[in-house]
Structure 1
Amino acid sequence: MRKFSYFIILAGILIMLYPKANEWYNDWQQQKLLEEAEQAYSETVPSPSPQSDLRKPYAEVTQLLAEESSADEQAEAAEQPAPEIQLGGKIIGIIQIDKINLKLPVLEGATKANMKHAAAHMKETAAIGEVGNAAIAAHRSRTAGRLFNRLNEVGIGDTISVQTSEQEYQYIVYDISIVEPTDISVLNGHNDDKMLTLITCDPLVNPTHRLIIHAKLS
């Protein structure tokens, strides 16, 4: 009887520790991707061909953001971690925002797998550093400082750095907005400007909109 009681206590401790262990694992995966990106870029990603209709891929991105937020809520309610997803995607850069102590690997393609541990570049948009609007999306994690959790602290005039295999690009934030998930205009370009758009959910809890950060290459 005593052994059974010990077993129950041990099982309870493991259940309580599992969500934290899962969070550590996610952070380890993110750090692993960063180290790979910082060591070297073995391949150069070609610029995507322009597409006139971004409604479908943008809808998919905003849906993924909403799904992850919902998964976080359900996991918290059940005191269980969200299900694991196999890593995927090629590292094309590192995004860094010193003001919020953010440094993330950027994977090509805004897929569920890519956005689990990193920021993701919408391959349908302009390449980083090129003319047009390059869009990068990431989840608004509930964990302080993880992924785009602190993106709301970024302000006009702040610098966003993106390191690729070719060079480091410095973008200056010029516009911040909160929009409906269906507002595709956030991906519009402007003449010959080289733009960067960051996308995440808003508010942090029960998100209904999208937080958009627009920046231009300095």
Structure 2
Amino acid sequence: MEENEKRRINTVKIFSILLLLTGILLILVPVIKTYLNTKRNNDVIDEFLKQSENAALEIEPLQDEEVEAFYIPPELSDDNTQTDLNNSPSPEPEPPVSDEPAQSPEPSKKPGMTKEEMKKRTSGVLIIPKIDVKMLIMDGVDDETLRVAAGRLPYTDNFDEIGNCVLAGHRSYTFGKYLNRLDELDIGDKITIQTKDKTLNYTIYNSKIIEPDDFSIIEKNDTDKILTVFTCHPPGIGSHRLVVQALQDN
């Protein structure tokens, strides 16, 4: 009888301990998950800040002679492009020609973008390890933006969205600067975009050369997350566009 009673007491103790441990685990698991998720998010943010700071430190704004060759048609740089392509306004009559030679207006030199402006406008960092590229990413393809960053065409999709995110960047005449070596990329090479929230990895599946007014690079995609990066080609002439397209990894 005493042995049976001891066994019963031991069983109750073991069961109580198991219940206690289970309760502790139920309390700890959400806490641990929250800690790990917070740490992961902080790590990604820290990595973004580090990468964007490093990229900003490496920036040497392009000089006038390096940006003249890269012309982006208004159809590719206007927020209302998709509407405008279908509803093109009638051309305005040309003003009468004067006999006096026209004087070219003095170009207005706008101050370069400050580091504070860069930080505010930066939405990600474009990283291409094979060609040692690390560029800030900002919205817009105006001259001021493209002198310091890769610009996202405003009406294209955002990072990590099903669709087509299109980035434009200067090639520069200097070897290794900006997208100067984009033509060295092959099918299967990797591209990374680091944002404040996550690290997005892409695999290149297409590379081609197109005319400047070829709008196929902004075509919508309803199934995959596509990243399109393009620049002028060849360097110093810019008569065409070099396009690299990559598919986001699962």
TM-score (norm 2): 0.55
Residue 59 of structure 1 contacts residue 182 of structure 1 at CA under 8 Å; is this kept in 2?
no
2:111 and 2:75 map into 1 onto residues whose CA distance is: 20
* Cross-structure match for 1:191: 222
Q: Could you list the runs of 5+ residues in structure 1 that have no partner in the other structure?
A: 1-31, 39-54, 61-82
More strand by share: 1
**How far apart are residue 199 of structure 1 and its match?**
1.0
Cα deviation, 1:86-115, whole Å, max 9, x if unaligned, reads 325610000101000111111121111111
Percentage of matched positions with identical amino acids = 33
Residue 94 of structure 1 contacts residue 164 of structure 1 at CA under 8 Å; is this kept in 2?
yes
| Structure 1: 4+ residue segments shifted above 4 A | none
- The one-letter amino acid paired with 1:196 is L
Look at both structures and tell me which one has the larger radius of gyration over its CA atoms. Answer: 2
Aligned length: 150
2:54 and 2:139 map into 1 onto residues whose CA distance is: 14
Match of 1:122 among 153, 160, 167: 153
* Cross-structure match for 2:171: 140
**How far apart are residue 211 of structure 1 and its match?**
0.3
Match of 1:153 among 184, 190, 196: 184
Secondary structure, in 3 states, of the residue corresponding to 1:181? coil
**How far apart are residue 36 of structure 1 and its match?**
7.6
Cα deviation, 1:67-98, whole Å, max 9, x if unaligned, reads xxxxxxxxxxxxxxxx6753256100001010
2:188 and 2:126 map into 1 onto residues whose CA distance is: 17
**How far apart are residue 189 of structure 1 and its match?**
2.6
- The one-letter amino acid paired with 2:129 is D
Q: Could you list the runs of 5+ residues in structure 2 that have no partner in the other structure?
A: 1-49, 57-72, 79-108
Q: Is 1:86 the equivalent of 2:112?
A: yes
TM-score (norm 1): 0.63
User: RMSD of the TM alignment (CA)?
Assistant: 2.5
Residue 160 of structure 2 contacts residue 200 of structure 2 at CA under 8 Å; is this kept in 1?
yes
* Cross-structure match for 2:52: 34
- The one-letter amino acid paired with 2:218 is L
1:119 and 1:204 map into 2 onto residues whose CA distance is: 17
